[in-house]
Structure 1
Amino acid sequence: METAHAGQTTGNGPVRTRMWRNGDLEAENFPIAELGPRLRETGTVVWLDLLAPADTDLRLVTDELGLSPVAVEDSVTARERVKLDRYRGYVFLNLYAPETTRDGLVLHEISAFVTERALVTVRERPGFDVDALVRRWDEGPRPLPEGAAPDTAPLVHGLLDLVVDLQLDTVQALDGDADTLEELIFDDAFPVKEIQRRSFRLRKDLIALRRVALPMREIVDELLRRPSRLVPDALVPDFQDVYDHTLRVAEWTDELRDLVANLLDSRIALQGNRMNEVMKKVTSWAAIIAVPTAITGFYGQNLPVPGFERLSGLLVSTGLIVGSGVALYAVFKVRDWL
């Protein structure tokens, strides 16, 4: 078996290549120029990974596989929607692998051309773990039956399975963020700025994940659909498992979106309740202060009153002030206004 420790570099970014013969890995990291000759060999399947490809590399692959200029343009255009397009002799896929970072959700775009015996992945930016994809190919799924025609279906399964698993990991991480947000909302400290920051980021990440995860159901279903099914019978259970995972991601994302909406409604209600509590306390203290003010104002009239210029008058007014204040405090405390 031919091997190389690192991918070759042509154009703007590194290129990785692999060739399998009858299901066994035979060559790795060979030049792009060898794509045609290796595909013309018997029983071979080839994979190319192009990172920020140069025009010459794209032209070589396009001419060799007979790709449409429209599909090639989509592969190097950023922020294309998630989709599966059928062309004569091949299928074009556009997928997004999510990654959770400290700054929020990051989506890594992956375009793929799938022919009967070639898989070409195109990425404009690094970030997607290609080594994890290679490991997934090496570890499964099970090979096609003895004597079956060479097929890229196992490679496509590995790619889809990895992307959907990353989406599952992401929605699980967002679920943890929702739990943290719930704890903050019902915390006695009620950190308003932190709650607003986390809720905005969580809603933004959920919208982004939902936009790239929901179409995955249609993509896998299209691959499995008869009579033009692209998946051999031996791999149907493996693709069906990926389809089940796409349903789980979609359902979990929708549930989280509803949960976050309910949490935000709860935050508004709790904030209103806390405002009412503050207003009750302010009103209660204002009432306690108002009674002594009324008493001292009454004794401040320019008229003789009981106890005028006597010690008994001072004691009576002081007693009224202290007694009324204590009585009002006790009443408000019993009613839980303070």
Structure 2
Amino acid sequence: MSETPTRTRLYAHGHVIAEDFPVAETAARLRENTEAVAWIDLLDPDQAELQPLADDFDLHPLAVEDALHEHERPKLDRYDGHLFMNIYAVRYHHEGSSVEANKIEISAFVTDRALITVHKQAGDLDRLVARWDADTGLAAAGGLNFLVYGLLDTVVDSQQSAARALDEAMDAAEDSLLEEGGAPRAVRMYGFAIRKALSYLRRAVGPMADVVRETVQADIGLGAEQLRPYYRDVEDHAQQAAELTEHSITRINELLDADLAEQSNVLNEVTRKLAAWAAIIAVPTALTGYFGQNLPYPGYDDTSGFVVSSVLIVGSASGLWVFLRKRGWL
């Protein structure tokens, strides 16, 4: 297996003092600079690549195991000496009738002086780094806590953006789904794609507010009080994303149900018309059958009989047509 791509940074007083150094040097650099904190990111490492960090920072074996396995639920676990969180950033993709919400699973170890992130799929680290670099003043006050806050803020922003985009995507389909006679099949398939993406997103967004709240309660340390209002803001955004996702799921289900009901109404209308026409056709059939029997009847074997039968056929069929028309069956 090729060497795992890594990113490393060393912060002191809110500023980057070293970057892209070997992961193996992290512990030594932290010992040399007692006021520094570190960020280490690894992309899809294996046990052999993660174990040296586990040894250097005394990471719990169960947390290491969770970091190596995919599809862990969003959560925050507390161990002696560090926290372990599993969260999902979201990338939204929309092209034509194709709608996708792709999740990027991130496992993070939060020690007293290092934030170690494990990306299980490739993600946009530049956005995370830009978030940290955007406020050096707050970074200086928050230390490691600021790095954790920046990570959560970036992840929640991606989830909120995806939730808003999916909600807006429904606007394009709503009018068609509510049209008289039901929507075209392509529009229905578009609605099903939106519902699938929302269900996929809900599993990432739903627990996020609890993860942020538990992180604040864990009290990482340096800068906790200064950052508490910022964490509350992230928690609020996570709650908004969860509520918007639930609202959107309810909305798309109602739209698809309304379309299905309209299709059922159309089918009932067609069935009713077929039944009405069958009744109209049945009357002349019965009359012609009667007059076609070899039995004496008024006008039998006479021109007047043919006229009477024709008038009865046309009159009864027309009368039934008028009656069904007034009832709205035709």
TM-score, L = length of structure 2: 0.86
- Mapped contact 1:46–1:117 kept (Cα < 8 A): yes
What is the aligned counterpart of 1:235 among 221, 227, 230?
227
* Cα displacement (A) at 1:123: 1.7
What is the aligned counterpart of 1:60 among 52, 63, 87?
52
Aligned to 1:92: 84
Aligned to 1:290: 282
TM-score, L = length of structure 1: 0.84
Partners of 2:324 and 2:135 in 1: how far apart?
71
Deviates more, 1:194-203 or 1:129-138: 194-203
Aligned to 1:136: 131
- What secondary structure sits across from 1:187 in the alignment? coil
Partners of 1:179 and 1:263 in 2: how far apart?
11
Aligned to 1:28: 19
Aligned to 1:5: none
- Mapped contact 1:199–1:260 kept (Cα < 8 A): yes
- What secondary structure sits across from 1:107 in the alignment? strand
Aligned residues: 325
What is the aligned counterpart of 2:247 among 249, 255, 258?
255
What is the aligned counterpart of 2:7 among 11, 16, 21?
16
- Mapped contact 2:284–2:317 kept (Cα < 8 A): yes
Q: Any idea what the Cα deviations from partners look like across 1:60-118, whole Å, max 9, x if unmatched? A: 21222121121111111111111111223321111011233436332211001122332
Partners of 1:74 and 1:33 in 2: how far apart?
22
- What secondary structure sits across from 1:143 in the alignment? helix
Partners of 1:226 and 1:240 in 2: how far apart?
14
- What secondary structure sits across from 1:40 in the alignment? helix
State the one-letter code of the partner of 1:15: T
- Choose between structure 1 and 2 for higher RCO, CA contacts under 8 A separated by at least 6 residues: 2
Aligned to 2:36: 44
State the one-letter code of the partner of 2:105: E
Deviates more, 1:132-141 or 1:226-235: 226-235
Partners of 1:95 and 1:227 in 2: how far apart?
19
State the one-letter code of the partner of 1:297: G
Partners of 2:45 and 2:174 in 1: how far apart?
45
* Cα displacement (A) at 1:306: 4.0
Deviates more, 1:177-186 or 1:211-220: 177-186
RMSD of aligned residue pairs (Cα, Å): 2.8
Q: For structure 2, which runs of at least 5 residues remain unmatched after alignment?
A: none
Partners of 2:148 and 2:159 in 1: how far apart?
17
Q: Any idea what the Cα deviations from partners look like across 1:252-297, whole Å, max 9, x if unmatched? A: 2232333344445544543443333223211211111111112211
Partners of 1:281 and 1:262 in 2: how far apart?
28
Aligned to 1:77: 69
Summarize the alignment of residues 291-330 of structure 1 with structure 2, pairs less than 5 Å apart. 291-330=283-322
- Mapped contact 2:205–2:238 kept (Cα < 8 A): yes
* Cα displacement (A) at 1:164: 0.9
Partners of 2:309 and 2:223 in 1: how far apart?
95
Q: For structure 1, which runs of at least 5 residues remain unmatched after alignment?
A: 1-9
- What secondary structure sits across from 1:13 in the alignment? coil
Partners of 2:218 and 2:242 in 1: how far apart?
24
- Mapped contact 1:62–1:68 kept (Cα < 8 A): yes
Aligned to 2:103: 107
- What secondary structure sits across from 1:79 in the alignment? coil
Partners of 2:14 and 2:124 in 1: how far apart?
23
What is the aligned counterpart of 1:120 among 116, 122, 125?
116
What is the aligned counterpart of 1:157 among 149, 156, 159?
149
Partners of 1:95 and 1:21 in 2: how far apart?
26
